[in-house]
Amino acid sequence: MSRPRVLLVGDLEATRLVCTLLTEDGTDVVHLLDPDEPALRAALTEPVEGVAVVVRGDLLALRFALLAEHLQPGVPIVVTIFDRTLGTHLAQVVPHCTVTSPADVAAPAVVAACVRPEALALLPTPEGLAELVDSPDGARLRRPRPEPEAWARRLGRWAARWVPHRYGGGEGILLLGLGGLAATVAMEWALAASVLHEGVLEAFYSTARLVATTGPAAAVDHGAPGWYLVVSGVLMLVGIAVTGALVAGLVEWIVGARTAALVGPRRVPVRSHVVVAGLGQVGLRVAQLLRELRVPVVVVERVARPDTLALARESGLPVVVGDASARAVLTRVGVRRARAVAAMGSQDLDNIAVAINALALAPGVRTVLRAGEGVAVTETTSLFRIGRVSDVGVMTAAWVCASVRGRTPAAAWTEGHRVGVLDADGDVRRPVPEHCRCHP
């Protein structure tokens, strides 16, 4: 009996792990790292049972998928594409194409590690939130028991969104200007009404003139005492200073690279929130899923890229630009009152630095680290517990392998040195694969 034949395209760590898993299952894998059209055409001269495309770059993945469909129409294709709009259109054009992404595969397990560590994954379903839990009969999905919450607490959390909160940077100058201007107006208004005996509207008009630095001209006509003239003069000078601070804060706030707001849904939360370090594909999906589950979240990104900031703004996510491994930045986003820190950067050492500094500031905070293509995270956590490791590459490989074999995965997770995948037939767990050796 001939072995099933599968074409695998890609040079990522996850691609090489897929190669190992398929080979262990008895599949004849044709692994192409970065093929051109003639190489792909040559690989598809013979029939294959499936094509898996796991590459970096949505457009490159789209090109390989469409070319495979053109060369061998009707072949089942599994492709990783992050852009959901692009993936949806591809699935419509090629109905036998399964589209996913490492971020979509890993996000449910990462979110569970952040907010519900006893669960293997948290999945949004049409019926509501479902959690994947382990049991003697294997992993299963269940509806979590809703946590009781008083209406006063819900009202207080909603009202807190509209209270300005300083978390460092230009918004501090802005709040200083707003507060100083409000205090100046209130004091002069009260003095004009009590000392000059003006009506409410006349007193407000005089106050506006003072704040606008045109001076309380009516004070002399009213026979105001000398001390009042001195106080009004001081308030006028203070008004100039706070107005300058207000303008400077507004300019910095408007032109600055951030999506966090002073008030409203994108206000940086102050307690019981999750700090996500890294606004890459995985970090963005984790933050979006947390927001979908109504968990307060703030994202810290080192480099302000317009494309990712635009996606975060569309999703209503507060983003603070800064180095998440710096303790000053972690303090600004309230790590001491956070429930978890998810280090989702692409570099292992950066994620380790984020976790260590977060634990230094808040020893009791829950930390979740993304394992990249190196071994630094695994080796470091074997020396001392700095957090729960989420291996995105391993989960992606297990998901793609199951899809290529004709299954329909619902969730993937890692536990220790094993990786599991759940589908309609139950869960399958296997040891974490090693790097394939078909290419040096």
- Mind listing the pLDDT tens digit for each residue in 229-267? 777 777 777 777 777 777 766 666 555 545 555 544 567
**Listed range (218-222, 330-334, 415-419) with the worst mean pLDDT:** 218-222
Mean pLDDT of 25-39: 91
pLDDT at residue 387, rounded to an integer: 83
Q: What is the CATH number of domain 105-145+260-391?
A: 3.40.50.720
- Mind listing the pLDDT tens digit for each residue in 302-326? 887 878 888 888 888 888 888 999 9
pLDDT at residue 141, rounded to an integer: 84
Please tell me the distance from the alpha carbon of residue 150 to that of residue 102, in angstroms, as a whole number.
38
Q: What angle do CA 426, 94, 282 make, to 5 degrees?
A: 60
pLDDT at residue 136, rounded to an integer: 82
Topology, domain 1-101+392-440: Rossmann fold (3.40.50)
Please tell me the distance from the alpha carbon of residue 322 to that of residue 167, in angstroms, as a whole number.
12
Q: Output Rg (C-alpha) for the chain, integer angstroms.
A: 29
- Using the predicted structure, report yes or no on whether residue 423 has a pLDDT greater than 70: yes
* DSSP β-ladder status, 274-277 and 121-125: unpaired
Structure tokens at 153: 């607490």
| Backbone phi, psi, residue 100, to 5° | -150, -175
Q: H or E segment at 89?
A: helix 84-93
Mean pLDDT of 136-148: 75
| Residue 140: CA count within 13 A, CB half-sphere | 7
Evaluate whether 1-101+392-440 and 105-145+260-391 have a shared fold: yes
Please tell me the distance from the alpha carbon of residue 183 to that of residue 211, in angstroms, as a whole number.
11
pLDDT > 70 in the chain, percent: 80
Angle between the N-to-C axes of helices 102-115 and 392-404, in degrees from 0 to 180, rounded to the nearest 10: 130
Each domain of the chain, given as residue ranges in start order, spans 1-101+392-440, 105-145+260-391, 170-255
- Buried b / exposed e across 330-363, counting CB within 10 Å, b at 16+? bebbbbeebbbbbbbbebbebbbbbbbbbbeebe
Mean pLDDT of 67-75: 92
Task: Find out whether 101 and 81 touch, Cβ atoms under 8 Å.
Answer: yes
Q: What is the pTM of this model?
A: 0.78
Structure tokens at 346: 């692409």
**Listed range (139-148, 286-295, 390-399) with the worst mean pLDDT:** 139-148
